[in-house]
A and B are shown apart, each in its own frame.
Chain A
Amino acid sequence: MKKLLLNPFENTSETKLLFFGLALTAAGSYLAYLFNGRYDGVIDLHFTGTVTLLQPFLDNLINIACLASALFLTGKLINKKTRFIDILNPVLIARVPFYLLTLTNFNSFISDITESLLEKIDLKNMPTDIDIAPSSVLMLTLFSLLAIICIIWFVILLYNGFKIAANSKTSLHKVYFALSILAAEIISGIAISLLNY
């Protein structure tokens, strides 16, 4: 079970991984539509008022394309035998934690809390004391913890897949991997905001 959740790439064939990866991407995009989530970057998830069906699908397409390209180039730099399919599969599967995180906005639960909080904050006249219900603080804290766990899970899945795809071993390879994620995050963020669909 631990292997399935953290490193399914060691024993599962690429065809099976691709099938599940695509199915989970479609399901995750639909979940974001249902729960008003936008994946507006490789490691981003934001809840907004209304989301069209097309938006999360395009978000995922851009995020997957950016991350897979960045990691594939890095993988080729580390090991010439790196195949695109072996990079694409972890990129698809590693996004599952973000898809699960959309469930927290059931019935606009999280977006209602954050919106009511933002309404109380006046940027021009910053209050010294904001009146927030303790239950809202608790919920936001729990959500933050869950979001951190999901990001860690995402990185573990992605790294385990990348490690196998590129046969990466050294600490320098880990630095390349981290830089690739950062580059993909910046490029995807800019692309999504520029395209503004």
Chain B
Amino acid sequence: MTPKLPIHCPSCSDSLSVSQLKCENCQTTVSGHYSLPFYLQLSEEEQNFILQFFLTSGSLKEMAVQMGNSYPTVRNKLDDIIEKIKKLKSENP
């Protein structure tokens, strides 16, 4: 099982940031303060949606067929994700 990347603090629900990175080869660790990229700040479901959007060359109709949803349902999901990313961008320019 691949562990899920936590993006929200389990204690206060605020957004988490990266404070340490480690090289698996030489064990070098880098410490600092790095905010998560926008893509990683989305939920797993939203990330999968974007991946599927990319893999279907941006065809919402094809996605609707693959997901077993109607076209407006898929378009609304995309619009909601766009809105969320715009909000994240304005909060962390």
Residues of chain A at the chain B interface (Cβ within 8 Å): 9-14, 17, 79, 81, 83, 86, 164-165, 167
Residues of chain B at the chain A interface (Cβ within 8 Å): 64-65, 68-73, 75-76, 79-80
Residues of A within 8 A of B65 (CB): 13
Known: A11-B70, A86-B70. 10 other contacts (CB 8 A): A9-B72, A10-B69, A13-B64, A13-B65, A13-B71, A81-B75, A83-B72, A164-B73, A164-B76, A167-B80
Chain A facing B: main interface SS? loop
A8 smallest CB distance to B (angstroms): 9
Residues of B within 8 A of A11 (CB): 68-70, 73
How far is it, in angstroms, between the C-alpha of A10 and the C-alpha of B70 when the chains are bound?
Answer: 6
Chain B facing A: main interface SS? helix
How far is it, in angstroms, between the C-alpha of A9 and the C-alpha of B73 when the chains are bound?
Answer: 8
Residues of A within 8 A of B75 (CB): 81, 167
B79 A12 Cβ-Cβ under 8 A:
no
| Most chain A CB neighbours (cut-off 10 Å) among B64, B69, B70, B73 | B70
Please tell me which one of the listed residues A10, A17, A81 contacts residue B73 in the complex, with CB atoms under 8 A apart. Answer: A10
A14 B73 Cβ-Cβ under 8 A:
no
Residues of A within 8 A of B70 (CB): 9-14, 17, 86, 164
